[in-house]
Structure 1
Amino acid sequence: MQPGAAHWVFLSGIVLIIGVMIARRNVVVPAIAATFCTALAYDGDPVRALQAVFNASLTAATELFNIFLIIALVTALLGALRGLGADRRMVEPFRHVMRGGHSAFWVVAGMTYLISLFFWPTPAVPLIGAVLLPAAISAGLPPAGAALAMAVAGQGMALSSDYVMQVAPGLSAKAAGVGTTEVADRAMVLSLITGGVALALGYLMTRREMREPDVRHLVRWEAGVTDPEVRGRRRFPSLRRLTAAAGADDAGRIDTAAIAPGTTTAVPGTDAAGGTDPAVEAAAPAAATAVIDQDPPDRGTPGTSADDAGSAPAPGDGNERRSKAFALIVPLALAGLVGYMMLGKFTGLVPEVVGGDAAALVGGVTVLLLITAALSLDGRGCLESCADHIVDGLVFSVKAMGVVIPIAGFFFIGNADFAGKIMALEEGRQAPGFLFDLVTRIESAIPDGGLVVGFGLLLVGLVTGLDGSGFAGLPLTGSLAGTLGPASGTDPALLAAIGQMGCVWSGGGVLIAWSSLLAVAGFARVPVLDLVRRSFLPVMAGLVVSTAVGIAIF
Structure 2
Amino acid sequence: MGIEFTALHWIYVVFIILIIGFMVKRRDTTLICIIGIFMLAIVATGDLTSSISGVFNSFIYAITELLSTILIISIIVAMSRVLMTSGINEVMIAPFTKIIKTPALAYWTIGLLMMFISWFFWPSPAVALLGAVLLPVAIRAGLPALGVAMAMNLFGHGIALSSDFVIQGAPKLTADAAGIPVGEVVTASIPLVITMGVVTTLVAYILLRRDMKRGALYLNATNNTSEDAEQVTAEHLLTLGQKRFFAVLIPIAFVLDVIAMSILKLQGGDATALIGGTSVFILLLLCVVAHKNQGLEKTTSYLIQGFQFGFKVFGPVIPIAAFFYLGDSGFTQIIGDYLPAASHGIVNDLGVGLAAVVPLTKEIAVITLTVVGAITGLDGSGFSGISLAGSVGSLFGNAIGGGTATLTALGQITAIWVGGGTIIPWALIPAAAICNVSPFELARRNLLPVIIGLVVTTIVAVFLI
With the length of structure 1 as denominator, give the TM-score of the two structures.
0.59
Q: In structure 2, what is the equivalent of residue 258 of structure 1?
A: none
Q: In structure 2, what is the equivalent of residue 505 of structure 1?
A: 410
8 Å contact from structure 2 (residues 29, 320) kept in 1? yes
Q: 2:284 aligns with which of 364, 367, 371?
A: 371
- Quote the offset at 1:77 in angstroms: 2.1
Fraction of identical pairs, as percent = 21
Q: In structure 2, what is the equivalent of residue 84 of structure 1?
A: 86
Larger Rg: 1
Q: 1:545 aligns with which of 438, 445, 456?
A: 456
Q: In structure 1, what is the equivalent of residue 316 of structure 2?
A: 403
Q: In structure 2, what is the equivalent of residue 455 of structure 1?
A: 364
- Quote the offset at 1:503 in angstroms: 0.8
8 Å contact from structure 1 (residues 153, 195) kept in 2? yes
Per-residue CA deviations over 1:417-438 (Å, capped at 9, x if unaligned) read 2111221448997876222322
Residue identity in the other structure for 1:340: L
8 Å contact from structure 1 (residues 155, 505) kept in 2? no
8 Å contact from structure 1 (residues 6, 41) kept in 2? yes
8 Å contact from structure 1 (residues 469, 507) kept in 2? no
Residue identity in the other structure for 1:65: L
Q: 2:348 aligns with which of 436, 440, 446?
A: 436
- Paired residue secondary structure (1:357): helix
Matches within 5 A, 1:284-303: none
Distance 1:323 1:215, change over 3 A: farther
Residue identity in the other structure for 1:379: K
Unaligned runs of 5+ residues in structure 1 are 116-120, 163-167, 220-238, 247-310, 484-494
Q: 2:55 aligned with 1:58, yes or no?
A: no
Residue identity in the other structure for 1:394: F
Distance (Å, rounded) in 1 between the aligned partners of 2:198 and 2:273: 31
- Quote the offset at 1:364 in angstroms: 1.6
8 Å contact from structure 2 (residues 414, 454) kept in 1? no
With the length of structure 2 as denominator, give the TM-score of the two structures.
0.68
Matches within 5 A, 1:504-523: 504-507=409-412, 510-511=415-416
Distance 1:377 1:146, change over 3 A: same
Distance (Å, rounded) in 2 between the aligned partners of 1:410 and 1:378: 44
Q: In structure 2, what is the equivalent of residue 354 of structure 1?
A: 267
- Quote the offset at 1:243 in angstroms: 4.4
Distance (Å, rounded) in 2 between the aligned partners of 1:376 and 1:105: 35
- Quote the offset at 1:25 in angstroms: 2.1
- Quote the offset at 1:64 in angstroms: 1.5
Q: In structure 1, what is the equivalent of residue 224 of structure 2?
A: 216
Aligned CA-pair RMSD: 5.0
Per-residue CA deviations over 1:285-324 (Å, capped at 9, x if unaligned) read xxxxxxxxxxxxxxxxxxxxxxxxxx3427xxxx4xx253
Distance (Å, rounded) in 1 between the aligned partners of 2:419 and 2:43: 24
Residue identity in the other structure for 1:440: V
8 Å contact from structure 2 (residues 15, 33) kept in 1? yes
Q: 2:35 aligned with 1:27, yes or no?
A: no
Q: 2:129 aligned with 1:134, yes or no?
A: yes
Residue identity in the other structure for 2:411: S
Q: Which has the higher helix share?
A: 2
Q: In structure 2, what is the equivalent of residue 194 of structure 1?
A: 196
8 Å contact from structure 2 (residues 163, 413) kept in 1? no
Distance 1:12 1:62, change over 3 A: same
Q: In structure 2, what is the equivalent of residue 11 of structure 1?
A: 13
Q: 2:326 aligned with 1:413, yes or no?
A: yes
8 Å contact from structure 2 (residues 38, 51) kept in 1? yes
Per-residue CA deviations over 1:153-174 (Å, capped at 9, x if unaligned) read 2354686xx9xxxxx9xxx9x9
Residue identity in the other structure for 2:52: L
- Paired residue secondary structure (2:329): helix
8 Å contact from structure 1 (residues 39, 49) kept in 2? yes
- Paired residue secondary structure (1:75): helix
Distance (Å, rounded) in 1 between the aligned partners of 2:20 and 2:6: 22
Q: In structure 2, what is the equivalent of residue 302 of structure 1?
A: none
- Quote the offset at 1:512 in angstroms: 9.3
Residue identity in the other structure for 1:27: T
Distance (Å, rounded) in 2 between the aligned partners of 1:386 and 1:427: 48
Distance (Å, rounded) in 1 between the aligned partners of 2:334 and 2:38: 11
- Quote the offset at 1:54 in angstroms: 0.9
Q: In structure 1, what is the equivalent of residue 158 of structure 2?
A: 152
Distance 1:43 1:330, change over 3 A: farther
Distance 1:193 1:26, change over 3 A: same
Distance 1:432 1:5, change over 3 A: farther
Distance 1:423 1:26, change over 3 A: same
Per-residue CA deviations over 1:15-39 (Å, capped at 9, x if unaligned) read 2222222222222212212221222
Distance (Å, rounded) in 1 between the aligned partners of 2:412 and 2:122: 22
Distance (Å, rounded) in 2 between the aligned partners of 1:41 and 1:513: 35
Distance (Å, rounded) in 1 between the aligned partners of 2:430 and 2:295: 27
8 Å contact from structure 1 (residues 461, 477) kept in 2? no
Q: 2:249 aligned with 1:333, yes or no?
A: yes
Per-residue CA deviations over 1:43-99 (Å, capped at 9, x if unaligned) read 333222212211221111112122221222222223333443434444433334566
Q: 1:72 aligns with which of 71, 74, 78?
A: 74
Unaligned runs of 5+ residues in structure 2 are 136-144, 169-173, 377-384, 434-438
Deviates more, 1:439-448 or 1:106-115: 106-115
- Paired residue secondary structure (1:59): helix
Residue identity in the other structure for 2:224: R
Distance 1:385 1:345, change over 3 A: closer
